[in-house]
Structure 1
Amino acid sequence: MINRNKLFLFALILASFNLRPGITSVSPVLHGITKELGMSSTSASLLTSIPLLCFGFCSLFASRLANRYQSEKIITFSIACIGIATFLRVFTNSSIYLLITALLIGAGIGVVSPLLAGFIKSYFPENAAPMIGIYSTSMVVGASISIGLTTPLQHWLNDSWKNGLAFWSIFSLFALPLWFMVIKYSRTHTNKALQKRPASLPLKNKEAWLLTSFVGLVTLLFYCFAAWLPAIVEEKGGTSAFGGLIGTISMIAQLPATLLLPSLLKVIPSRRLWITFFTLSVIIGLSLLGFTNLTPIVSSICLGIGGGGLVSLTLLLPIDKTTSPIEASTWSAMTQAIGYMIGAVGPFIIGFLHDYMGSFVPTLYLLIIIGFIVILLGWKITKPANVKQEGIAIK
C-alpha cells in the first residue's frame, strides 16, 4: 500500500524542481541565443521578464481555477504545460518562438506556485513550516542544477543551446506520474468554504502596498542577477562555462539562507536585522562584482546568501502581517502578483541599459541604489507591532 504522505512529499519536491529551470537555464547560454537569433540585450531580457509577468498575472487566477477544477488537477495540468513548452524550445527558429515558450512557462509557474502553498496547508497542516522550507529549497536546487548543467548539456547534445534548454522538460516527466497518483489519492470531498467568493485583495491598505513594493524590489534584484550574472562574468573576461559556474555557485549559496532562516529567526527574531543583513550581502556582492578584480566566486556567494534570505523573508512577511489564513492568502496573492510584475521590469531595464551604454557597470550602480531602498522599505514595514507569529514578536 502506498504511503500517501511520502507520495505527496516527493510529488511536492518534483513539482518544485519544475518552477525555475525554464527561467534560469537561459542565462548560461544567453550569449549563444543572442548571437544566433540576432537578439539585442533588451529583447533577450524578455526571456526572463515575460515569465515573471505571467507568473504575477496568472497567480491571481490560480485559486479560482483550483476551486472550480480541483487543485491537484490544475497543478498536474500546469506542470505538463511547463514541460511541453520547455521541450518545444528544441524547435526554436526565431526570437518570437522562444519568447512564446517563455510566456507559456511563466503562465504554468504562475499557477503552480500559489497552489503548492495551498497544497502544503491542506495536507501538511501540522508541518507547514518545514514543508515550505523543503518547497523553497527544492526550487533552489532545480535552479542550481539548470544553471550549472545547461552549458555542458549544450556541448554534449550536438553543441546546441536549443537542446540544452529543452532538456529540462525531463523534470516534468519525472513529476507527472506522481501527480497523477496524487489526484487518485487526494481528498475527494469538496470544501464548501472554498466555494465562497474569494476575499478581496487589500488594495486600500497602505501597509500592504509597502510590503508589495518591498517584494517587488527584492524580486527585481534577485532576477536581475539571476538573469545577467553569467553575462556580466563573460563581459569581465570569463568563458561561458565559467559564467554558468558562477551562476550555479550563486544559486547553491542560497541554500544555507533558505534552510537556516527559520532557526536564525528563533535565535534573533528581528526581521529588520535580517532584512538589513541579507540586503547588505547583496550590495557587497554587486560592489565586488562591478568595482574590483576579485574573483566573481566571492561576489556570487554574497549575492546567493543575500538573495536567498530576502526571498524567504518575502514569503514570511505576509503571514507576519495578518491574523487569519484568509487574510494571509489575500496579502500573499497581492504581494506575489503585483510584486513579481514589478520584478519583471528589472531584467528588461538591465538589458536596455546595457544596449545603450555598452557595459554592465552602470547597471550595477542602479542595483546598489535599489538595494538601499530595499533596506529603507524593510525598516518601514517592520515597525514594532503587536502581531505575533508562533510566539515571536514582530520587529
Structure 2
Amino acid sequence: MSNRYKLFFFALILASFNLRPGITSVSPLLHGITDELGMSSTTASLLTSIPLLCMGIGSLFAGRLASRFQSEKIITIFIACIGIATFLRFFASSPVYLLITALFIGVGIGIVSPLMSGFIKTYFADQVALMIGMYSTFMVVGASIAVGFTTPIQHWFSDSWKVGLGFWFIFAVIAIPLWMAIIKHPHTLQQRATVQQRSSLPLKNKQAWLLTSFAGLATLLFYCISAWLPAIVEDKGYSSSYAGLVGTLCMMAQLPVTLCLHLLLRAIPSRKFWITFFVGSEMTGLILLGFTSVTPILAGIFLGISAGGLISLTLLLPIDKTNSPIEASTWSAMTQAIGYMIGAIGPILIGFLYDYTGSFRPTMYLLIVMGLIVIFLGWKIAKPVEKTTLHVNITRSSDEYV
C-alpha cells in the first residue's frame, strides 16, 4: 500500500471513530442525566432518537452535496460539526441544550455516513467488502470505547456526566488534520461524471425501497439495544457498573463480525444465510435477556454479534447493488435517511412502553417480532446465488468514471 493510500485508509478509520460516540456515550450516563435534569424515560430516549432522526434528514442532502462539491470537503466540514457539538456538551445545563447538541451530532453523522460509501467505492474499488468491514469495525471500536470509558471518565472528573459526554470531541480533533490533507491531495480519479450523473434518491426503485425498509428495521433493533441495554440490565437488579460492562461487551462482540465480514462472505457468499444467522442471534439474545435468569453478559454477546453483522450488511448492500460511487452514495443516502427515521422511533417507543408499563418485557416481544420482519425483508432483497457478487460492479475500469 502506497503512502497515498495509507492516507486514505487512516482517514477512513478516523472518520469512522466519530460516527457513534456522540450517541453511545449517552447510555451509560442515562440514569444520572435523567436524575439531574429531571427527564422522564421517554424524554431521555430523545437523546438517541433525535440524532437518528437528524441522521436521516442529513442523509437526504448528502448525495446533492457530493454532486456539487468535493465530497472530501463535505466530510471534513461535518466531522468538525460533530466535534463542535460534542465539545459543547461540556457546558450542558438543561434538557433543551443537550437535545440541541444531539441534533447537530445527528446531522453531521447523517451527512458523513452515506458519503463514506462513495469514498470507499472511489478509493478502494477492488476491496469494497474488506473496507466496509474495516469501516464498520472501527465504528464499533469508537462506540465501544465511548461506552466503556464514559463512566470512568465521569468518575475521574468529579462525577461530571458533562465531561463524560463532551470528552469524545477528541476524535474529531484527531481526524480533521488527515481530512485536510485529503482535500489538498484528492484521488486522481476525481470523477468529472459525478456532476453529470443522477444525484437524486432512487425513490422509484423497488429494490431500493426493500433495502431501505430492511435497513430501517435493522437500525431500529441496533439503537434500541444501544440506548437501553444498560438500563434493562439495571432493571433486572444489577449494578450500574455491571450494566456498563454488559454494554461494553455487547459492543466488543461486534468487532470479530465486522472485522471478518469479508472472510465470512467469501466462505458463504449467501446474504440470505447471514441475514438469517444474525437476526437469529438477536432473537437468542433478547430471549436470554428478557425471559431467563442467565447472566446478561451472554445475552449481550449474542446481541453484539447480531448488531455487528446486520449493520455491516446494511452498509455493504447498497454498494453491492450499484454501479458507481455517486450511485452508491445516493442509495446509501436513501437507506440511511429513511432507515434512520424508522430507527429513531425505537428508543422513544421503548421509553414510552417502560413509562407506561414499568417493565421492559413488552419491549422484548416487540423486538422479536421486528426481527422476524427483518428476516422476511432480507430474503426479499438478497439474491439466491451470490458467489460472483462479493465484488459486484467493482472490477470495472476506472476509465468508465472519468
TM-score between the two structures when normalised by the length of structure 1 = 0.93
Greater mean alpha carbon deviation, residues 195-204 or residues 232-241: 195-204
What residue identity is the alignment partner of 2:369? I
CA distance in 2, matches of 1:126, 1:291: 45
Q: In the alignment, is residue 95 of structure 1 matched against residue 86 of structure 2?
A: no
TM-superposed CA distance for 1:335, in Å, is 1.4
Query: Which residue does the alignment assign to 1:216?
Result: 216
Distance 1:187 1:214, change over 3 A: closer
Greater mean alpha carbon deviation, residues 330-339 or residues 44-53: 330-339
Q: Conserved in 2, the CA contact under 8 Å of 1:321 and 1:387?
A: no
TM-superposed CA distance for 1:270, in Å, is 1.9
* Percent identical: 69
What residue identity is the alignment partner of 2:247? G
TM-superposed CA distance for 1:15, in Å, is 1.2
CA distance in 2, matches of 1:120, 1:271: 20
SS in 1 for 2:159: coil
Q: How does 1:258-337 map to 2 (within 5 A)?
A: 258-322=258-322, 327-337=327-337
Structure 2 residue ranges without an equivalent (≥5): 393-402
Distance 1:339 1:40, change over 3 A: same
CA distance in 1, matches of 2:328, 2:178: 29
What residue identity is the alignment partner of 1:211? L
CA distance in 2, matches of 1:219, 1:189: 33
TM-superposed CA distance for 1:324, in Å, is 5.6
CA distance in 1, matches of 2:188, 2:332: 27
Paired residues, number = 391
For the aligned residue pairs, the C-alpha RMSD in angstroms reads 2.1
- CA displacement, residues 120-170 of structure 1 (integer Å, 9 cap, x when unaligned): 222233333322221111100000000000011110012100111000011
CA distance in 2, matches of 1:251, 1:229: 11
Q: Conserved in 1, the CA contact under 8 Å of 2:148 and 2:245?
A: yes
TM-superposed CA distance for 1:185, in Å, is 2.1
- CA displacement, residues 23-50 of structure 1 (integer Å, 9 cap, x when unaligned): 0000000000111111111111111111
Query: Which residue does the alignment assign to 1:121?
Result: 121
TM-superposed CA distance for 1:387, in Å, is 10
Structure 1 residue ranges without an equivalent (≥5): none
Greater mean alpha carbon deviation, residues 241-250 or residues 262-271: 262-271
Greater mean alpha carbon deviation, residues 308-317 or residues 63-72: 63-72
Distance 1:206 1:279, change over 3 A: same
Q: Conserved in 2, the CA contact under 8 Å of 1:49 and 1:345?
A: yes
Greater mean alpha carbon deviation, residues 162-171 or residues 257-266: 257-266
Query: Which residue does the alignment assign to 1:36?
Result: 36
Q: In the alignment, is residue 82 of structure 1 matched against residue 74 of structure 2?
A: no
Q: Conserved in 1, the CA contact under 8 Å of 2:62 and 2:115?
A: yes
Query: Which residue does the alignment assign to 2:14?
Result: 14
TM-superposed CA distance for 1:389, in Å, is 1.5
What residue identity is the alignment partner of 2:389? Q
Distance 1:190 1:139, change over 3 A: closer
CA distance in 2, matches of 1:234, 1:391: 44
Q: Conserved in 1, the CA contact under 8 Å of 2:133 and 2:261?
A: no
Distance 1:313 1:188, change over 3 A: closer
Greater mean alpha carbon deviation, residues 195-204 or residues 220-229: 195-204
- CA displacement, residues 327-358 of structure 1 (integer Å, 9 cap, x when unaligned): 54433222121111111111110011111111
TM-score between the two structures when normalised by the length of structure 2 = 0.92
CA distance in 1, matches of 2:315, 2:187: 26
Query: Which residue does the alignment assign to 2:194?
Result: 194
- CA displacement, residues 171-200 of structure 1 (integer Å, 9 cap, x when unaligned): 111111222222222248863311225244
Q: Conserved in 1, the CA contact under 8 Å of 2:285 and 2:301?
A: yes
Distance 1:42 1:376, change over 3 A: same
What residue identity is the alignment partner of 1:222? F
Report which structure shows greater RCO (CA 8 Å, sep ≥6).
Answer: 2
TM-superposed CA distance for 1:246, in Å, is 0.8
CA distance in 2, matches of 1:294, 1:388: 42
Distance 1:143 1:75, change over 3 A: same
CA distance in 2, matches of 1:54, 1:343: 11
Q: In the alignment, is residue 247 of structure 1 matched against residue 230 of structure 2?
A: no
Q: Conserved in 2, the CA contact under 8 Å of 1:151 and 1:240?
A: no
CA distance in 1, matches of 2:381, 2:121: 25
Q: Conserved in 1, the CA contact under 8 Å of 2:115 and 2:329?
A: no
TM-superposed CA distance for 1:384, in Å, is 3.1
What residue identity is the alignment partner of 1:12? L
